[in-house]
Structure 1
Amino acid sequence: MAYSREALIEAVSAQMPDKRWQHTLGVMETSIKLAEMYGADPQRAETAAILHDVAKYWPVERMKDIIVQNGLSAELLQYDKQLWHAEVGAFVAEHEYEITDPGILGAIRYHTSGREGMSLLEKVVCLADYIEPGRDFPGVDEIRKKSMMSLEEGLIAGFDSTISLLLQKRRVVFPLTVLARNDLVRILEEKI
């Protein structure tokens, strides 16, 4: 039996600190707004937002075990552990919370990294994660402003911010994020 919205909220909120749940509430609200603004399904956007950080506070070894034992993207294990929760979250959404909608699962899976050929729903949830009202980092207001112009403009600004921060810290940049950014730039160039 599929989980109701309320049951999902109860189950997911119990797995994270209150501060992270507040972030999730912000992503839910922002996902709905962006979905309505850009023509995505608000209900699907909200469901993906509820579940996007479901595995965020799981122990690293538990996430690694799920990735390895279930043949998920092993490439992730070579990159920052902060990326792992998205892939694991999509797996958990499907196998523990009975989410069968591939669009919702994709939005959960790619909310941290993006990917080439992002769907409308993936763009909405990824961008909502960047700009929800509780987010406070250098450049977030500019990302919010660009988000009102287009999903692509907002996401490019978000990815640029992430990549720039990683470069400043001499950290490895996940290739999928670079590919996602470049794909969005190409999409905007084609519109000109």
Structure 2
Amino acid sequence: MEREKALAIVEKQLKKKRYEHTVRVMETAIKLAEHYGADVKKAEQAAIFHDYAKYRDVEEMRRWVISENLPQDLLEYGDELLHGPVGSFMIEREVGIKDAEIQSAVYYHTTGKRHMSLLDKIIYIADYIEPGRKTPGVEDIRAIVYDDIDQACWMAAQHTVLFLMEHEQPVYPDTFQLYNERLMLKK
């Protein structure tokens, strides 16, 4: 699907600020894909559609979790996580994107996971570091992302875990798995 068509589809689903975020994620993902030798077109598509389900009705997303036999524990960790996994199914059914790599990158863009593909990593970290993000520590991650994407993903997971713990929010197991995977490789 051509970029302009994909952006037009997504723009209808998102609020203005979220659409602008999506464009910045797309631009960041393209740069990372070019740098790391990943499929630029897939990175572009996954970035464009990563927040496709972001503003869907929460009850609708919960129904998708059940009807598509997604991990039921998604329903226990807060509604903010639902748009990635649900979006990965919605883009297939509603838009016709049946590419497993793109769907995986959309699915895990919020939580990350162990054994991420290069495309998964690109979308996960592009969403975290796009130029509009101002989260504490993001500059440190931006500084190393073109040298070591694995370290950048680990740092993003670490920051996410610490943020959620500080706010007494549950941490989804996939994020802990991403954090632990890199930590154990470092030892």
Bin for the TM-score computed over the shorter chain: over 0.9
Separation in 1 of the partners of 2:23 and 2:101?
Answer: 20
Separation in 2 of the partners of 1:24 and 1:184?
Answer: 27
Secondary structure at the aligned position of 1:66 is classed as helix
Letter in 1 for 2:25: V
Secondary structure at the aligned position of 2:95 is classed as coil
Separation in 1 of the partners of 2:87 and 2:79?
Answer: 13
Q: 1:123 aligns with which of 100, 110, 121?
A: 121
* Corresponding residue for residue 24 of structure 1: 22
Aligned identity (percent) is 41
Segment of structure 1 superposing worse, 71-80 or 19-28 = 71-80
* Corresponding residue for residue 92 of structure 1: 90
Query: Contact 1:146 / 1:157 at 8 angstroms: preserved in 2?
Result: no
What's the C-alpha RMSD, in Å, of the aligned pairs? Answer: 1.3
Please report the TM-score for the alignment, with normalisation by the length of structure 2. Answer: 0.95
What is the deviation of 1:186? 3.6
Separation in 2 of the partners of 1:185 and 1:33?
Answer: 26
Secondary structure at the aligned position of 1:115 is classed as coil
What is the deviation of 1:146? 2.2
Query: Contact 1:27 / 1:128 at 8 angstroms: preserved in 2?
Result: yes
* Corresponding residue for residue 34 of structure 2: 36
Please report the TM-score for the alignment, with normalisation by the length of structure 1. Answer: 0.93
Deviations 1:65-86 (A, max 9, x none): 1111222221100112111000
Query: Contact 1:36 / 1:42 at 8 angstroms: preserved in 2?
Result: yes
**Greater than 6 Å deviation, 4+ residue runs:** none
Deviations 1:98-151 (A, max 9, x none): 111111110000000111110000000000000001111111111111212211
* Corresponding residue for residue 104 of structure 2: 106
* Corresponding residue for residue 134 of structure 2: 136
